[in-house]
Amino acid sequence: MNILVTGGAGYIGSHTVLSLLNNDFDVIVFDNLSNSSIESIRRVEKLTDKKVTFVKGDIQDKAALAELFCAHNIDAVIHFAALKAVGESSTMPLAYYQNNVNGSLCLLEVMATFKVKHFIFSSSATVYGGDNNVPYIETMPLGEASSPYGASKVMVERMLNDVAKADSDFRAISLRYFNPIGAHESGQIGEAPQGVPNNLLPYIAQVAVGKRKSLQVFGDDYQTLDGTCERDYLHVMDLAEGHVAALKWLNKQRGFTGVEAFNLGTGKALSVLSIIRAFEQVSQQNIRYEIGARRSGDLAAFWANADKANRLLGWQATRSLEQMIEDTWRWQVNNPEGYL
């Protein structure tokens, strides 16, 4: 089967491409490299000893997409391509709606033209908003997103539902990721943020190798065990394997049409301080940090109820926190400048 992976050169995309190749899918990556490097794909090819078809392009360029769909017989699309910095989305909301919402719209339009009916979408736990109780479960209503980034994910999920209502052959899965961290165990591919990292683990890793002085912890007065925010961290390879499980499930369903959402998380929440301590233990480095003010939009704690993915997809996160941190550390030490 030919799988089109948009944003496949990025962090989660590259790990998923590796899992797809290891499961004998053929992969075409379409990425504008705005937040990634072609080197990630080259390394995936080396790790798997398989070829990836790479096309540089933007999902808002419908002509380029049409050319791609014309040249390849695409069976399903996994759609990662998006801007993803929550904080930045509040300062440049239009860029997020443009790229994430309009980009998805362009992609779905071209898919409709070429009658490609299988779609897997990178959604996020942010779609639950702040008002639902934890743990989050897929039957909960979509919440009031706390950022334009979150709103863009809610909008695409709504769009998918409407497409599915209008086209009874259309089948989509929204995978709602919790907090992916870690890297492939080889230390060859991992998260390579450009500029200042937005996520906790790359930031800690850069402090550990001396690239940054200290980590700012956003608040220690939350109603949690140690006062810092708690999140459901899962290994990026578990997440990658979740996509393969979702794709196989989608291909097997005969009666199913519509959109199915799945949480991908471990079902456990860990605090920022506990991650710092665990990182210190694994890396044997001292992580300097300062407690700062709360960051607007941050929730105290959330984690997944991932029973549905386990029940229907046969998927479960299996890698430990120690493994997540060991793999992040290996990647960081081997690649202090990312893919440069």
Ligand X SMILES: NC(=O)c1ccc[n+]([C@@H]2O[C@H](COP(=O)([O-])OP(=O)(O)OC[C@H]3O[C@@H](n4cnc5c(N)ncnc54)[C@H](O)[C@@H]3O)[C@@H](O)[C@H]2O)c1
Residues labelled catalytic: 149
Q: How far is the CB of 56 from ligand X (least distance, A)?
A: 9
Among 35, 174, 266, 283, binds ligand X (CB under 6 A): 35
Enumerate residues 78-107 that contact ligand X by CB under 6 A.
Answer: 80-82, 84, 99, 103
* Token pair listed for 39: 């080197």
The site map against ligand X for 56-75 (x = CB under 6 A) is --xxx---------------
Q: How far is the CB of 7 from ligand X (least distance, A)?
A: 3
* Token pair listed for 87: 């904080």
Q: How far is the CB of 299 from ligand X (least distance, A)?
A: 14
Q: Nearest-CB residue to ligand X?
A: 10
> CB neighbours (10 Å) of residue 58?
18
Q: With respect to ligand X, which residue has the nearer C-beta, 85 or 217?
A: 85
Enumerate residues 122-151 that contact ligand X by CB under 6 A.
Answer: 122, 124
Residues binding ligand X: what is the number (CB under 6 A)? 28
**Stretch of 31-39, 63-71, 268-276, 317-325 lying at the interface with ligand X (CB under 6 A):** 31-39
**Stretch of 19-27, 34-42, 108-116, 273-281 lying at the interface with ligand X (CB under 6 A):** 34-42
As a whole number of angstroms, the distance between CA 152 and CA 97 comes to: 6
As a whole number of angstroms, the distance between CA 119 and CA 60 comes to: 17
As a whole number of angstroms, the distance between CA 185 and CA 27 comes to: 21
The site map against ligand X for 150-189 (x = CB under 6 A) is ---------------------------x-xx---------
Closest CA to 148 of 93, 103, 226, 108: 93
Q: With respect to ligand X, which residue has the nearer C-beta, 59 or 301?
A: 59
Cβ(31)–Cβ(13) under 8 Å?
A: yes
Among 3, 7, 65, 317, binds ligand X (CB under 6 A): 7
Interaction between residue 13 and ligand X (CB under 6 A):
yes
Query: Which residues make up the interface to ligand X (CB under 6 A)?
Result: 6-7, 9-13, 31-36, 58-60, 80-82, 84, 99, 103, 122, 124, 177, 179-180, 199
